[in-house]
Chain A
């Protein structure tokens, strides 16, 4: 383990994670909304927002899956030191972290059960950019409609069709975060 794995956590965990959670809750309650999420200084390759999200929500009780390039030793060391979350294969994960292509296929993740739909995976998708444009979103938390630059359309529509089962998504890019719960219905804009 490199010494660098020991730094970059929350300096004041109680207050910083509280502030971070407010941003996380706001984006989950209002799909399409983009908030700033910072506080953590994660190792290279992991965005500030994704790092802060993991520090806020993960601990030894949450099973974490790292996909693709993000499954690196420096990131594993950093997350182990700061959260203690065990690393698991995709089908067992509570949280999965990766670039969009590395996380696919979505069918490998837990979608919950009829009686416990909450026992579903939360995917954290690292994106190169995050803007309020592209796919049109409707559903709970959205007044009329919202727009978000989703990396794909069909997988999210299939996921939404599983409601009340399905995965929930966070999208992170730099220090920006947005979310797409399973209750949101993504559509292509009618005219482009």
Chain B
């Protein structure tokens, strides 16, 4: 612990990130440029989220890290260990016990409260980037509130597929002004973004930070005749029988066998502990897992 400055980054870097976070909160949905640092992990592994977390962790925090809803995948485990080592903070896998949650591509199923902070890892923060590759142009489009192109993209979805086929990173409009990329969360999670917790977004490679204060209006873009729908796989979790959670498809054998399970591992486990048993599940305590 004493070999590192608290939370790894030097103080001047943290001040720079903190100033960017404050401007991000003051202009919800606007991408604030920041001088992203090299972190001891490759770009694409959550360096933006890690820098934002490092700048807002306090010694009293309890950190939870999830990767696609799971606490026990490589990315989540390594980031959790990183902060255990460099900031000596407590860690947890329980959503309700965490004060700071860093996430890759999911929002926990359990609603967050006012004392929590949700930090997203963002690969491409610019929602218009795949439609207009030039930063100089997308910046003008945001300045002029010129968002016709993104509606054309959704319209092309409908003309090709008969419905809006964008299933993740579904664009949202924040407080009626900025169109924002919610990071590649499934669109099932979009309605949860109007929450009580502070939401911070960090894109390390792209050097952008943005934020959504609590209770901010976040509207998923749609059309009157094709309204937004928070979709998920049909059916219920095979382990905990939940039919209201986002499900992952898991291939279980070479013959096309598959099962659907909750993507949020902590939520699924707490349901199983509460006695819910899915079609392929066994009551908690009777199996090895």
Contact = CB atoms under 8 A, between A and B. Distances in A.
Interface string A37-74: 00000000000000000001111011000000000000
Interface in A49-101: 56-59, 61-62
A60 B56 CA distance: 21
A25 B56 contact: yes
Contacts of B178: 164
Given A62-B19, A141-B213, A182-B26, A14 B11 contact: yes
Contacts of B33: 116, 118
Contact of B18 (A15, A57, A114, A164): A57
Contacts of A183: 26-28, 175, 213
B58 A18 contact: yes
A180 B5 CA distance: 32
Contact of A164 (B19, B27, B140): B27
A56 B18 contact: yes
Contacts of B158: none
Interface in A9-36: 13-15, 17-19, 21-22, 24-26, 28-30
Contacts of A115: 139-140, 142-143
B32 to A, nearest CB: 5
Q: Which of A29, A56, A117, A168 has the most CB of B within 10 A?
A: A29
Contact of B19 (A18, A57, A139, A182): A57
Interface string A103-129: 000000000001111101010000000
A186 interface: no
B30 to A, nearest CB: 6
Interface in A117-173: 117-118, 120, 122, 139-143, 163-164, 168
Contacts of A30: 213-214
Contact of B28 (A13, A61, A116, A140): A140
A13 B26 contact: no
Contacts of A13: 11
B22 A28 contact: yes
A29 B177 contact: no
Interface residues of B, number: 45
A29 B32 contact: no
Contact of A14 (B7, B32, B211): B7
A182 B33 CA distance: 19
B27 A17 contact: no
Q: Which of A21, A143, A163 has the most CB of B within 10 A?
A: A21
Contact of B5 (A14, A59, A62, A141): A14
B58 A15 contact: yes
Contacts of A143: 196, 214-215
B143 A118 contact: no
Instruction: Return the 5 tightest CB-CB contacts between A and B, nearest first.
Output: A141-B213, A181-B26, A14-B6, A114-B143, A140-B216
Given A21-B58, A122-B22, 20 more contacts: A17-B14, A18-B56, A18-B59, A19-B59, A21-B55, A22-B58, A24-B18, A28-B25, A29-B214, A57-B19, A57-B22, A58-B15, A62-B19, A118-B24, A118-B30, A139-B175, A163-B177, A164-B178, A182-B27, A183-B28
7 contacts: A22-B58, A25-B198, A29-B211, A30-B214, A117-B30, A122-B22, A143-B196
Interface of B: 5-7, 11-12, 14-16, 18-28, 30, 32-33, 55-60, 139-140, 142-144, 175, 177-178, 196, 198, 211-217
